[in-house]
Amino acid sequence: MPQLKSPMDILRLLDHSNCRQCNEPSCMAFAAQVFKGKKKLSDCPKLDPYVIEQYGEGVESGDRPPTSEEAVEAYVKSLKQEVRKIDLPAVAEKLGGVYQYGRLTLKVLGKAFSVYPDGTLSAEIHTNPWVSVPVLTYITKGAGRNITGKWLPFRELKQGSAWSGLFRQRCEKPLKQIADNDYDLFVDLLDVFNGRPVEHLDADIARVFYVLPKVAIMVCYWRAEVDFDSNLNIFFDEAANDNLDIASINALGSGLARMFEKLAVKHSTGQPFAVSL
């Protein structure tokens, strides 16, 4: 695990926005508190989960730590090395994918995403680390458990309670904001990814997505009423517990929210939707 030996090493990982969401007056103050052991890296909701995973929560002596981009890159590299040890044709069916033309292909939010035996990735659309890491984790660590039909809120997933604040902040809140601002646009965005409409309680809209073949999520949104604020919750099929780790589930949710935000901005400037993952 890379090591952090000074507050400056910690500060280098942060986004320098001084947004105060960690309840500290600045990123520098937060870095100092982490260095003293009074805060954890995960107390910063803007820090990438993969960076947290790379560093853990402790501060130790050592060489200059890599930047957050380097940490994610190193993690992707280690997952690709794990892929090389896996018999992809043998696990294709278990993962809900297909092995053809010398590569394993999985559907990620309905888009084809392929992995070659040497760990090389290719996709029909542009991809980002927020999707590469979960896909590689699904292949290397997932149990391939079938979809159960039982839905759980994020906090009830394994280790979900520890990550639920981050997930609420980085996924559910931004998506709710988009829906609050422009409900019709939000519905259009859900349609871009072929969400399957479902009846869920009294939600105004509920759609199921397969973020991976055996990782299903249900996005539910309730519009504001006279005495109630609007609300948005995301539920997970219970199989997600065994098919993906909590960091990857959180990253997929955060990435999805970022992508929706980008598409909403494009819409507001009259640009066509150009989907990337």
Q: Rule CB under 6 A: which residues touch ligand SF4?
A: 14-15, 17-22, 24, 26-27, 30, 44-46
Pick the closer one to ligand SF4 by CB: 29 or 76.
29
CB 149 within 8 A of CB 218: no
Strand extents, DSSP E, the chain: 98-100, 103-108, 111-115, 121-123, 151-153, 196-197, 205-212, 215-222, 231-237
- Which of 56, 63, 48 lies closest to 15, judged by CA? 48
Please list the residues that pair with 113 across neighbouring strands.
106, 123
CB of 35 to ligand SF4, least distance (A): 12
CB of 19 to ligand SF4, least distance (A): 4
CB of 161 to ligand SF4, least distance (A): 20
What is the signed CA dihedral for 91, 129, 249, 192, rounded to 10 degrees?
-90
CB of 28 to ligand SF4, least distance (A): 8
Residue 46 CA to residue 43 CA, distance in Å, equals 9
Please give the full DSSP string across 82-93, using - where no structure is assigned: HHHTS-HHHHTT
CB of 12 to ligand SF4, least distance (A): 12
Pick the closer one to ligand SF4 by CB: 15 or 70.
15
Pick the closer one to ligand SF4 by CB: 24 or 237.
24
Pick the closer one to ligand SF4 by CB: 46 or 141.
46
Pick the closer one to ligand SF4 by CB: 15 or 93.
15
